[in-house]
Amino acid sequence: MREAPPARVVALVMAAGRSRRFGATDKRRAGLADGRPLLASAVERAAGAFDDCYVVLREDDDPEALGLSPDTRLIRAVHADRGLGSSLADAVGALDALSGAEAVAVLLGDMPDIAPATLASLGRAARRDTILCPVHGGRPGHPVLFGRALWPELAALRGDRGAREVVHRHASRLHQIHVEDPGIHRDVDTLADLDSRQGAIRAGGSGPGGERGVTP
């Protein structure tokens, strides 16, 4: 029996949150050690790994001010202020009409350190009816990939709960991909996270960053 070909995967980079823990500065514009803005760096990595890529922003966001290129594909989350779950629902609802992909990779715009090899491994393993997440050191991380069969449930999410409840309802469809990549746990949530990351890179290492667990 022939193995099914890899699914076509579209990336959603979630970047519609207010990021109040970062202070008065919009962290999406924060400069990394290489000079690129945080969000633009995460988007570039996602766009290089998957068949297509959309960035999820608030209705009033200016993508140019965030450092995004003019050809960046955008989805506006009209209910962004209700929380990540509502933003994800807006995005997946729009994506259903925009893309014929068999799976969506949900990435966070403040996680620029996920290795390209990790994203490639997840993309190769994606299927229409599965959920995938990477695991490093025994801990699951990001991004999480949802087959298209799960999209209606993502589009029904509300508030700030994210997709965890969808994963729990379909635990039998969850497949963990083991990777040697601490970047799947590392986000830039505060100024201290950014300073730690920059210092570690200048020293030739990798910063500790934060951790958010299994699902968006």
Residue 64 belongs to a domain: yes
Answer yes or no: are the C-beta atoms of 128 and 148 closer than 8 Å: yes
Residue 210 belongs to a domain: no
What is the DSSP code string of 119-164?
HHHHHHH--TT-EEEEEETTEE-S-EEEEGGGHHHHHT--TT-TTH
Residue 1 has pLDDT above 70, yes or no: no
pLDDT in tens, 84-133: 999 999 999 999 999 999 999 999 999 999 999 999 999 999 999 999 99
Mean pLDDT of the chain, nearest integer: 88
Residue 2 belongs to a domain: no
Identify the pLDDT of residue 145: 98
Give the phi and the psi of residue 156 in degrees, each rounded to 5. Answer: -95, 0
Answer yes or no: are the C-beta atoms of 38 and 25 closer than 8 Å: no
For residue 116, whether the previous peptide bond is cis, meaning omega lies within 30 degrees of 0, is: no
| Cα 22 from Cα 189, distance rounded (Å) | 6
pLDDT in tens, 35-79: 899 999 999 999 999 999 999 999 999 999 999 999 999 999 999
- Confidence grade of residue 195 (pLDDT, cut at 50, 70, 90): confident
Q: How many C-beta neighbours within 10 Å does residue 27 have?
A: 24
Residue 19 belongs to a domain: yes
Residue 214 belongs to a domain: no
| Nearest C-alpha neighbor of 96 from the set 111, 82, 75, 121 | 75
Residue 213 belongs to a domain: no
Residue 211 belongs to a domain: no
Contacts of 38 (CB under 8 A, 6+ apart): 27, 28, 29, 30, 31, 32, 109, 110, 112, 188, 194
| Cα 29 from Cα 199, distance rounded (Å) | 18
- Which tokens in the block code for residue 67? 């450092």
| Cα 213 from Cα 152, distance rounded (Å) | 23
Residue 197 belongs to a domain: yes
CATH number for position 76:
3.90.550.10
Beta strand segments in the chain, E: 9-14, 52-58, 73-77, 103-108, 131-136, 139-140, 144-147, 174-178
Beta bridge partners of 54: 12, 73
- Which tokens in the block code for residue 65? 């001010």
Could you give the number of structural domains in the chain? 1
Q: Which domain holds residue 120?
A: 9-202
Please state which of the ranges 88-102, 172-186, 193-207 shows the lowest mean pLDDT. 193-207
